[in-house]
Amino acid sequence: MKTVSENAAFGGTQGVYTHASEVCGCDMTFAVYTPPQAKAGPVPVLWYLSGLTCTHENAMTKAGAQAWAAREGIALVFPDTSPRGEGVANDEAYDLGQGAGFYVDATETPWSPHFRMWSYVTEELPTLLFRNFELEEGAQGITGHSMGGHGALTIALTYPDRFKSVSAFAPIANPSNSDWGRKQLGAYLGAESAAWHAHDSSLLLREKGWKGQLLIDQGANDQFLDLLKPEALASAIAERRQPATFRMQPGYDHSYFFVASFMEDHVSFHAEALYA
């Protein structure tokens, strides 16, 4: 692991790091914010997964999460959204290839050699983090925006014993039935839609439920509502009778102005669960 930069922030440290990923077969970059409380020992950690076209940097610089994380005493992890670099497959479209890993392990050509973001986020990167930072492995939460909201929900629903809390901002909620999903899941996992089930949060929630409370924020003026399909997730919550706070926020769109506006609520939501 190599340090790219470290900056003092709200009494803690915002760092950016790179490492050679065996899972993705390329160098990967990620960011970690450690709050001032980490100087005294391990602290809970909140994963933040970003959306299409993003890197580790978008949420790190635009979400305003560090101030609230410092107040609550939790660390933040910002992974990249895909493998990158020479020899890594890509596509001319913004919603496939580099910047659009969709948090799955690709099985199809030409994506399978590098696009293994599910294993990267759930296996390789956690191992690296807990070996090198003052993080409490037994107190993890996860959140994300758009494609990252999809990733946060599907990962938490698959690993309920690992995560104590989950939330999402404008998640791609029903990718099996959306052009933001069918295209990517078909490309990465193949045309057989049965393989997509494990990566559709509306289907997973209806099947498994979640052990605690969910927090979902969705902008009512989001320009991508037809692609996100929040109504599918709301329906799954109702059918499952899942304890949840699902908020359609009037006037808000899909941007980081929306994310930053409600970040304090989400960090507080996770801190309450992580310190319980």
**Nearest by Cα to 97 from 183, 37, 17, 33:** 183
| C-alpha 148, offset from chain centre | 4
Question: What confidence score (pLDDT) does residue 156 get?
Answer: 98
- 232: exposed, middle or buried (C-beta count within 10 Å: 0-12, 13-18, 19+)? buried
Give the domain ranges of the chain: 2-275
Give pTM, 2 decimals.
0.97
Catalytic residue among 21, 82, 146, 202: 146
Q: How many residues does the chain have?
A: 276
| Three-state DSSP string of 94-155 | CCCECCECCCCECCCCCCCCCCEHHHHHHHHHHHHHHHHCCEEEEEEEEEEECHHHHHHHHH
- Residue 142 makes CB contacts below 8 A (sequence gap 6+) with 46, 47, 48, 49, 152, 155, 156, 163, 165, 166
Angle subtended at Cα 53 by Cα 104 and Cα 78, rounded to the nearest 5 degrees: 70
Any long-range contacts for 130-138 (C-beta under 8 Å, 24+ apart)?
Answer: 132/1, 133/32, 133/34, 133/38, 133/75, 134/34, 134/38, 134/39, 134/41, 134/42, 134/43, 134/75, 135/38, 135/42, 135/43, 135/44, 135/45, 135/75, 136/42, 136/43, 136/44, 136/45
Question: What confidence score (pLDDT) does residue 226 get?
Answer: 97
164 pLDDT band, cuts 50/70/90, is very high
The answer to whether residue 192 scores a pLDDT higher than 90 is no
What is the average pLDDT score of the chain? 97
Catalytic residue among 201, 222, 266, 270: 222
Instruction: Give per-residue pLDDT as tens, 37-59.
Output: 999 999 999 999 999 999 999 99
For residues 96 and 183, the answer to whether their CB atoms sit within 8 Å is yes
Catalytic residue among 145, 254, 266, 270: 254
Instruction: Give per-residue pLDDT as tens, 197-217.
Output: 999 999 999 999 999 999 999
Tell me if residue 270 is catalytic: no
The answer to whether residue 274 scores a pLDDT higher than 90 is yes
Angle subtended at Cα 114 by Cα 110 and Cα 119, rounded to the nearest 5 degrees: 130
β partners of residue 6: 15
Task: Report the distance separating Cα 84 and Cα 98, nearest Å.
Answer: 6
Tell me if residue 146 is catalytic: yes
Question: What confidence score (pLDDT) does residue 70 get?
Answer: 98
- 190: exposed, middle or buried (C-beta count within 10 Å: 0-12, 13-18, 19+)? middle
193 pLDDT band, cuts 50/70/90, is confident
Angle subtended at Cα 210 by Cα 205 and Cα 215, rounded to the nearest 5 degrees: 90
The answer to whether residue 194 scores a pLDDT higher than 90 is no
Q: Is the CATH number 3.40.50.1820 carried by domain 2-275?
A: yes
